[in-house]
Chain A
Amino acid sequence: MCKLTPRFLFFVSFLLLLFFSYWVGGGVLYPLGAGVFLALFYLVLVGLVFFFHVVPSVGRRVLEAAVLVVLFASFHMYPPLALTAIPALFFVLLYPVYLGWRHGVFKDLTHVVLWFVLSAALGVALSWPLPQILWINVLAAVSTALLAHYILLKTYPRLKRRREKPTAT
């Protein structure tokens, strides 16, 4: 059951994100739409990082996503508040990675960097022939990031052990 939670979170939020991206199409996003986009993205990233593990405090993660929506919606009340979108952006991008590192999903910083590099390398082949449409971009980016995450989870611990053994002897 616990194993299913991150996958359920990932697939639900990913499907919603894809649908939302398809709906937006080439249009512009106002703060509420951008807030929804970022909140879904946050849940997708959390689900992606913990895809093969257990999401810590799922309720809190969903609450954080809801706060993001409220924060972006409040820009309409006081527009200069929109500057907080920048720290919110870094929060969405980095906090799931931080959680993964803290809860042992990522073994170390090299693991994280390798994930970034490998997902980029895998994506080149996949995204090259695809049209630059928002929902396709999201689909390609998320799927390659997940694939790279899976490959590294399987290979990086072995690589690390192999690298550490000669040092130990």
Chain B
Amino acid sequence: MRGIPLVVLALSIAVVAGYVEVYVEDGPDLDGLHIYAWDGGEWTPVGVIYVPEYIHTYIAAVEQWASMPYYNMSRYILEIPREAFRRGPPRTPPGLEKWTLEVQNGTRKAVVELAVGRKPLTKGNLTLSTWYALGDQPPKTPHRGKFINPPRRPPKNNEAAGEVGTASYAVSPGATIYPIGSLYFQPAKVRSGWFSTYVPVDTPDGNNIFCSGLPHMHWVGFEVLNFTVGVKVSGTIYYGTLTLEFYNRDTCTLITTYYISLPSSGSRWENVNVHLPLDSQIGVRARVYGYASSDAIINVSVVARYVKTVNSLAQIATTKAVAARAPSVSSGYRDRIAVLFGPYVAYDGLAATAAGTSFSYINVPSHTVRLRWYGQYCPMLRVEYQVNNIAYTTRFVGPSTSSPAGYYCNYNVPSTVLQLWARGYVISKALSKGGGITVSTAYDVLRSPDVTISFNGLLQIVYDRWIEPFHSNYIDSVIGRPYLQWGVMLLLNTYQVLGPINASSLNMISEIRSSYSQLALSLAHNQLDPMFHICGAEWVITAPVTGSPSPFYGNEAVDEKWWAAMGNRVLDAADWFLTLGNLASSSGYGALASLLIKVVQNIFQTASASVSVTSSNGLYYIRWIKGWAESPPPTVVILLHRQSSSTPQYAEWRYFREGYPTTLGCVLDPTYRVVNTNMYLSPSSVTSESRASAKIWTWRGQTYLLTDALTVGSR
């Protein structure tokens, strides 16, 4: 019992006393709000569980149909304390608004007054906050609720000040952005009975002590604005509290502690606003304590939101993901069907705006929908787009012809650009480690017996990410480039081609990593079939490279085979004799012999991986071809040396293409994949790594604390 505030016990008793579930349809958006009901003695948080609509969905990643939940955030269940229905509250606490909810159960009606605001109430140390959850089943409660004085717009207190969120797909220098990234913790296993433990930090290198005597501290960084905390309680805890201890990492002093009561089970999230000094490095320790009736596992996911000023575009990196192929889907006798793409990796550092939009976008390709229809006229087709299973927008598409042609109505759905919203991204990160991005299109197909949806292009996601783990002012305003501490960082830029998760469909990730002296191009893929595999690749970049490139399969250097070396020497000698005899220099029989020697020499030279670098008009073409005597490697890394005399600030990654085996050998795809992403090149000098240390897992997928571009551990 030591260390557990009595207030926690009091709150727990209130929770255990029970609540009534009230289903609200077409309610106002409750995102970011704290909702309270009067339980007769005090204001108690009201839980919000969003109710899904299930749609028969074709999941492109596995090429299978499944019933998937979708949320429009206006259908939810409110968990209201039972006592709130019996006793009217005193006046609404200052800073909160009074909302009135009319609850109907059959013929019986009741009215509940709620207090709603952006700033949570506190009691002693404890923050009485509202937990949100994505429910997994339709409402079963008989209580139906309706707000009889629905607010026109959400309450404004403590609203983040800042720019007006305008739709823009390009970050410009001078802009204020709000990057979002995950902090990574390991699960905390608690035994039945009283428990109290710090949640261990999930570090790739085991380093989690920045301040002596304060283990399990996670580096958060500068200019921290607010957090979203997700918890997943596997098992049941009787009651518990999560404390977030915020430290000044520079002085190793405690700034503040945030106490929140834990939900008893399930996955939930809530928003946490703490006032922290923007110009100090922040560290956080998470501790859970309480009482569990049986063994339980508590997962804590913290999503941090920052406020940053873009001083140089070097602070922004672009990452692109493209679907490997355009699906064609058939179904029938359903009211609604959907096609789901993803999940794609939700890399840390998404550059968001104050309004909750972002600079990242999803390009949904144009597609055709074909309905079998027996009516006289073709109906309008309602198409709804969802990102991370949360409704994004709806459009109506007219038929190509007003009357069915041969009992079929055709619809051409134009391509659409969806701006990635911060909310779905944050929820995904708060509920699962690292998070993901999914994109769905849903169609009202009105129980047509035959529906075919054919996509004409490839779905594409382009992320603009903040890659600067330091302070905004870390850019030297004089030279417009980051300080030399960047020299100890490995910067990454990724291009993904993601198809269904099976051996026959292409899934590959190519990455360019830049250290102060090296550039590594990597390719990881799943095409390993001996008859049809990726046997070559070509990267087209603008970063000047020099010297001979070194190919690696995984971390193993590719060596010349002993027999190929021997054969090459013999043929070299034979060619030398021909040259000596002045026969090979012209045509005729000597040239025939020379040609044949070169062909056979080709066999020995192509037995092992070959890498070539050519340059033209400022573009560098780096080409890898697998050796015919080698098994298809799942991971290829080409290590290049950067030109020390030439130090451009950016590298542009223009194109990429891969090759497949033919009867003749490895042939690269004649069509280049357009990448067109920029990446910053680290300065060519190295200084202290004190600033860079331990920050890396905060910004996974973008940076790494290494100067060796070849070796990158698990991220």
Question: A residues bordering B, Cβ < 8 Å?
Answer: 23-24, 27-34, 37-38, 41, 45, 72, 75-76, 79-80, 82-83, 85-86, 88-89, 92-93, 115-116, 118-124, 126-127, 134, 137-138, 140-142, 144-145, 148
**Could you tell me if A83 and B563 are in contact, using CB atoms closer than 8 angstroms?**
yes
Please give the number of chain B residues whose Cβ is less than 8 angstroms from any Cβ of chain A in the complex. 38
CB distance from B3 to the nearest CB of A (A): 68
**Could you tell me if B596 and A85 are in contact, using CB atoms closer than 8 angstroms?**
no
Candidates A33, A120, A137; contact of B589 at CB < 8 Å: A120
A-B contact pairs, 11 of them (CB 8 A): A27-B665, A29-B665, A30-B664, A30-B666, A82-B604, A116-B588, A116-B589, A118-B588, A120-B583, A122-B587, A123-B587
How many Å lie between the Cα of A86 and that of B568 in the bound state?
Answer: 10
**Could you tell me if B603 and A30 are in contact, using CB atoms closer than 8 angstroms?**
yes
Which residue on B lies nearest to A42, using beta carbons? B596
- Among B583, B587, B590, B625, find the residue whose CB has the most chain A CB atoms closer than 10 A: B587
How many Å lie between the Cα of A45 and that of B595 in the bound state?
Answer: 13
Complex interface: chain B residues within 8 A of A124 (CB)? 586-587
How many Å lie between the Cα of A83 and that of B596 in the bound state?
Answer: 15
**Could you tell me if A31 and B603 are in contact, using CB atoms closer than 8 angstroms?**
yes
Complex interface: chain B residues within 8 A of A123 (CB)? 586-588, 591
**Could you tell me if A79 and B591 are in contact, using CB atoms closer than 8 angstroms?**
no
**Could you tell me if B596 and A38 are in contact, using CB atoms closer than 8 angstroms?**
yes
**Could you tell me if B603 and A126 are in contact, using CB atoms closer than 8 angstroms?**
no
Given the interface pairs A29-B606, A79-B561, A79-B607, the reply to whether A37 lies near B589 with Cβ below 8 Å is no
Given the interface pairs A76-B628, A83-B567, A89-B596, the reply to whether A27 lies near B667 with Cβ below 8 Å is yes
**Could you tell me if B587 and A138 are in contact, using CB atoms closer than 8 angstroms?**
no
How many Å lie between the Cα of A110 and that of B89 in the bound state?
Answer: 120
Complex interface: chain A residues within 8 A of B667 (CB)? 27
Candidates B563, B583, B595, B661; contact of A116 at CB < 8 Å: B583
Complex interface: chain A residues within 8 A of B589 (CB)? 115-116, 119-120, 141, 145, 148
How many Å lie between the Cα of A138 and that of B587 in the bound state?
Answer: 9
How many Å lie between the Cα of A126 and that of B592 in the bound state?
Answer: 14
Given the interface pairs A83-B563, A123-B587, A127-B591, the reply to whether A93 lies near B596 with Cβ below 8 Å is yes
Complex interface: chain B residues within 8 A of A115 (CB)? 589
Given the interface pairs A137-B595, A140-B591, the reply to whether A127 lies near B600 with Cβ below 8 Å is no
Complex interface: chain B residues within 8 A of A75 (CB)? 603, 628-629
CB distance from B462 to the nearest CB of A (A): 34
CB distance from A37 to the nearest CB of B (A): 5
B 80-107 binary contact with A (CB < 8 Å = 1; else 0) = 0000000000000000000000000000
Which residue on A lies nearest to B661, using beta carbons? A30
**Could you tell me if B600 and A86 are in contact, using CB atoms closer than 8 angstroms?**
yes
Which residue on B lies nearest to A143, using beta carbons? B587
Complex interface: chain A residues within 8 A of B596 (CB)? 38, 41, 89, 92-93
**Could you tell me if B602 and A28 are in contact, using CB atoms closer than 8 angstroms?**
yes
Kindly state whether residue B597 has any CB partner on chain A within 8 Å.
yes
Complex interface: chain A residues within 8 A of B610 (CB)? 28
Q: Interface on chain A toward B: helix, strand, loop, or mixed SS?
A: helix
How many Å lie between the Cα of A120 and that of B579 in the bound state?
Answer: 12
CB distance from A18 to the nearest CB of B (A): 13
Given the interface pairs A24-B664, A28-B625, A76-B628, the reply to whether A148 lies near B588 with Cβ below 8 Å is yes
Kindly state whether residue B4 has any CB partner on chain A within 8 Å.
no
Complex interface: chain A residues within 8 A of B583 (CB)? 116, 120
**Could you tell me if A120 and B587 are in contact, using CB atoms closer than 8 angstroms?**
yes
**Could you tell me if A122 and B600 are in contact, using CB atoms closer than 8 angstroms?**
no
How many Å lie between the Cα of A118 and that of B591 in the bound state?
Answer: 12
Which residue on B lies nearest to A41, using beta carbons? B596
Which residue on A lies nearest to B668, using beta carbons? A27
Which residue on A lies nearest to B583, using beta carbons? A120
Kindly state whether residue B663 has any CB partner on chain A within 8 Å.
yes
Kindly state whether residue B570 has any CB partner on chain A within 8 Å.
yes
Complex interface: chain B residues within 8 A of A34 (CB)? 599-600, 602-603
How many Å lie between the Cα of A141 and that of B578 in the bound state?
Answer: 15
Given the interface pairs A23-B664, A34-B600, A116-B583, the reply to whether A86 lies near B567 with Cβ below 8 Å is yes
How many Å lie between the Cα of A76 and that of B629 in the bound state?
Answer: 7
Complex interface: chain B residues within 8 A of A89 (CB)? 571, 596-597, 600
**Could you tell me if B588 and A85 are in contact, using CB atoms closer than 8 angstroms?**
no
Given the interface pairs A27-B667, A33-B664, A79-B561, the reply to whether A85 lies near B600 with Cβ below 8 Å is yes
How many Å lie between the Cα of A74 and that of B154 in the bound state?
Answer: 74
Kindly state whether residue B593 has any CB partner on chain A within 8 Å.
yes
Which residue on B lies nearest to A140, using beta carbons? B587
Complex interface: chain B residues within 8 A of A24 (CB)? 664
**Could you tell me if A119 and B588 are in contact, using CB atoms closer than 8 angstroms?**
yes
Complex interface: chain A residues within 8 A of B666 (CB)? 28, 30
Q: Which of B545-590 contact A (CB under 8 A)?
A: 561, 563-564, 566-567, 570-571, 582-583, 586-590
- Among A41, A45, A115, A116, find the residue whose CB has the most chain B CB atoms closer than 10 A: A116
**Could you tell me if A79 and B590 are in contact, using CB atoms closer than 8 angstroms?**
no
**Could you tell me if A141 and B592 are in contact, using CB atoms closer than 8 angstroms?**
yes
How many Å lie between the Cα of A148 and that of B607 in the bound state?
Answer: 37
Complex interface: chain A residues within 8 A of B571 (CB)? 86, 89
**Could you tell me if A141 and B625 are in contact, using CB atoms closer than 8 angstroms?**
no
**Could you tell me if A126 and B587 are in contact, using CB atoms closer than 8 angstroms?**
yes
CB distance from B574 to the nearest CB of A (A): 8
- Among B610, B664, B666, find the residue whose CB has the most chain A CB atoms closer than 10 A: B664
Complex interface: chain A residues within 8 A of B606 (CB)? 28-30
How many Å lie between the Cα of A133 and that of B566 in the bound state?
Answer: 28
How many Å lie between the Cα of A18 and that of B666 in the bound state?
Answer: 20
**Could you tell me if B587 and A119 are in contact, using CB atoms closer than 8 angstroms?**
yes
CB distance from A89 to the nearest CB of B (A): 5
CB distance from B233 to the nearest CB of A (A): 56
How many Å lie between the Cα of A23 and that of B663 in the bound state?
Answer: 11
**Could you tell me if A116 and B603 are in contact, using CB atoms closer than 8 angstroms?**
no
How many Å lie between the Cα of A85 and that of B599 in the bound state?
Answer: 10
**Could you tell me if A120 and B582 are in contact, using CB atoms closer than 8 angstroms?**
yes
Candidates B587, B593, B599; contact of A29 at CB < 8 Å: B599
**Could you tell me if A141 and B587 are in contact, using CB atoms closer than 8 angstroms?**
yes
Which residue on B lies nearest to A21, using beta carbons? B595
CB distance from A76 to the nearest CB of B (A): 7
Complex interface: chain B residues within 8 A of A142 (CB)? 592
**Could you tell me if A38 and B600 are in contact, using CB atoms closer than 8 angstroms?**
yes
Complex interface: chain A residues within 8 A of B587 (CB)? 119-120, 122-124, 126-127, 137, 140-141, 144-145
CB distance from B583 to the nearest CB of A (A): 5
CB distance from A79 to the nearest CB of B (A): 4
Candidates A30, A41, A82, A138; contact of B665 at CB < 8 Å: A30
Given the interface pairs A38-B596, A137-B595, the reply to whether A82 lies near B603 with Cβ below 8 Å is yes
How many Å lie between the Cα of A29 and that of B606 in the bound state?
Answer: 8
CB distance from A90 to the nearest CB of B (A): 8
B 663-681 binary contact with A (CB < 8 Å = 1; else 0) = 1111100000000000000
CB distance from B700 to the nearest CB of A (A): 38
How many Å lie between the Cα of A34 and that of B604 in the bound state?
Answer: 11
- Among B561, B567, B588, B606, find the residue whose CB has the most chain A CB atoms closer than 10 A: B588
Complex interface: chain B residues within 8 A of A72 (CB)? 603
CB distance from A22 to the nearest CB of B (A): 12
Given the interface pairs A38-B599, A83-B563, A83-B566, the reply to whether A33 lies near B592 with Cβ below 8 Å is no
CB distance from B538 to the nearest CB of A (A): 13
Q: Which of B317-369 contact A (CB under 8 A)?
A: none
Beyond A30-B606, A30-B661, 7 extra complex contacts between A and B, CB < 8 Å = A24-B664, A28-B610, A41-B592, A79-B563, A85-B567, A119-B590, A120-B586
How many Å lie between the Cα of A45 and that of B592 in the bound state?
Answer: 10
Complex interface: chain A residues within 8 A of B582 (CB)? 120
How many Å lie between the Cα of A122 and that of B571 in the bound state?
Answer: 26
How many Å lie between the Cα of A118 and that of B583 in the bound state?
Answer: 10
Complex interface: chain B residues within 8 A of A85 (CB)? 567, 600, 603-604
